[in-house]
Amino acid sequence: MKAIVNEGCIGCGLCASTCPAVFTLEDGVAVAMAGDIPEEELPAAAEARDGCPVSVIDIQTD
């Protein structure tokens, strides 16, 4: 599974604080790590997606 941050991110930092192994802030917006989400990080990545105030995070299966 891969995380994707779509256009519209407001840079609140919730995803990066919820799941720093997958999300970071760069230039004021969230960026997802390249490659697959580590299995142990899937619950936190899903929590970050669900908590995004502007709903711009997707978690896609390969």
Q: Which amino acid is at 49?
A: R
pLDDT of residue 16: 98
Q: Which helix (H) or strand (E) holds 51?
A: helix 42-51
> Is residue 39 over pLDDT 90?
yes
Cα separation, 46 vs 50, whole angstroms = 6
Instruction: With residue 25 as reference, give the H or E element that holds it.
Output: strand 23-26
Q: And the tokens for 48?
A: 């970050």
pTM score: 0.93
pLDDT in tens, 5-35: 999 999 999 999 999 999 999 999 999 999 9
Contact call for residues 48 and 19 (beta carbons, < 8 A): yes
pLDDT above 80 for 62: no
- Token pair for 53: 């105030």
